[in-house]
Amino acid sequence: MSKHEFHPDLAARLQHFTGAEASDLLGAPFGPPETWDLKIEDREIEGPGGPLRLRIYRPVSDASDRPCLVWLHGGAWVGGDLDMPEAHETSRGVGGRADAVVVSVEYRLCNENVHFPVPVDDVVTAYRWVREHAAELGVDAARVALGGASAGGNLAAGASLRLRDEGETPWQALLLYPLVHAPLPEPSAELAAALAKLPAGLSVPDHLMAQVFAIYLDGAPVETASPYAFPGHAEDLRGFPPTYLDNDEFDQLRSSGERFAEQLRTADVEVEQVTSPGVLHGHLNLVGLDVAHATLDRMAARLRQEGIQ
């Protein structure tokens, strides 16, 4: 696949894209879902605003020291759920590949009454619950990673920063096409060339991006936002957990992920940075696509890797 070419399976669909079919374009499977032999349990724990639902994915064989990923779906802070592919298929795929426990979190979504820091509070609560219940879950409490995609990547990064400041730095962070700056950094010339190939209707206009920020921050200016809301604005990222950062090639948010990787390296944080080729924002939702499978392989490899600390 040469530079700035859409994945062939995506390209075939984009030929017929009219600007009003994004959900159909990206929602239809590209292949069958994977099969993994896992125990899946829904559980409610006490959260800062009432019951907080978790979905726990565990290998069927007994073990007491597995790695764990606390996982957060995307949805612009206002949408998404535990059943969407980015939550369910990712959790199954990573858990099965890595022989790991994955805990998917149903954090509270933003609306007219819910704003930052509510979702971050939920994520921190879920992470701490997993650490406290490590023995019950068959998890090594020293190997609990925190990860998420898109807005979930934002929450994973923000919660990781807060946990660092409170002396509980996660084992590692797995950030998939995250939004960690507001407004977005200017794209590089290379990214601008890729974005120029996006069909009309597949990029987010500035005014809609501003609306999303306003909902998350309850109308507060992004310039005054806490670094726990937008970790790319943190003055000091030293001590942030070792990070896997995966961006999509044809994605406006790639400018944020790439800039964050630079900031982490400047702060002497270990970073593995990948650009998933040929795909649009949110490729973990593309069930059956080989690029999504490759990302799950890399995520699982991070969880299996010895020596990350």
64 has catalytic annotation? no
150 has catalytic annotation? yes
Rg (CA), the chain: 18
How much is the average pLDDT of 266-272?
A: 98
Please state, in angstroms and as integers, the Cα–Cα distance from residue 62 to each residue in 54, 56, 102, 236, following that order. 21, 15, 15, 41
Q: Are 268 and 282 in contact (CB under 8 A)?
A: no
**Burial class, 1, CB count within 10 angstroms (exposed 0-12 / middle 13-18 / buried 19+):** exposed
Reported confidence tier of residue 16, pLDDT bands at 50, 70, 90? confident
Spot the catalytic one: 91, 104, 150, 160: 150
Mean pLDDT of the chain: 95
**Cis check: omega of the bond before 33, within 30 degrees of 0:** no
Least confident of 7-11, 26-30, 183-187, 227-231: 26-30
Angle between helical axes of 151-165 and 118-132 (0-180°, round to 10):
60
Residue 1 has pLDDT above 50, yes or no: no
pTM over 0.85: yes
Please state, in angstroms and as integers, the Cα–Cα distance from residue 37 to each residue in 12, 59, 96, 267, following that order. 33, 7, 7, 40
What is the pLDDT, as a whole number, of residue 21?
67
Residue 207 has pLDDT above 50, yes or no: yes
Give kind and range of the element (H or E) at residue 106: strand 101-106
For 58-71, what is each residue's pLDDT tens digit?
999 988 899 999 99
Phi, psi for residue 241 in degrees, rounded to 5:
-65, 155
What is the pLDDT, as a whole number, of residue 62?
87
Reported confidence tier of residue 2, pLDDT bands at 50, 70, 90? very low
For 118-128, what is each residue's pLDDT tens digit?
999 999 999 99
Q: Are 151 and 76 in contact (CB under 8 A)?
A: yes
Q: Which domains does the chain have, with CATH numbers?
A: 8-303 (3.40.50.1820)
The percentage of residues in the chain with a pLDDT greater than 70, rounded to a whole number, is 97
How much is the average pLDDT of 159-166?
A: 98
How much is the average pLDDT of 8-16?
A: 90
Residue 18 has pLDDT above 90, yes or no: no
Amino acid identity, position 300: A
Amino acid identity, position 27: G
How much is the average pLDDT of 208-234?
A: 96
What is the pLDDT, as a whole number, of residue 139?
97
251 has catalytic annotation? yes
Residue 141 has pLDDT above 60, yes or no: yes
How much is the average pLDDT of 36-63?
A: 96
Q: Are 303 and 100 in contact (CB under 8 A)?
A: yes
Residue 222 has pLDDT above 80, yes or no: yes
How far is 291 from 278, CA to CA, in rounded Å? 8
What is the pLDDT, as a whole number, of residue 63?
86
Spot the catalytic one: 115, 248, 251, 276: 251
Spot the catalytic one: 7, 181, 281, 283: 281
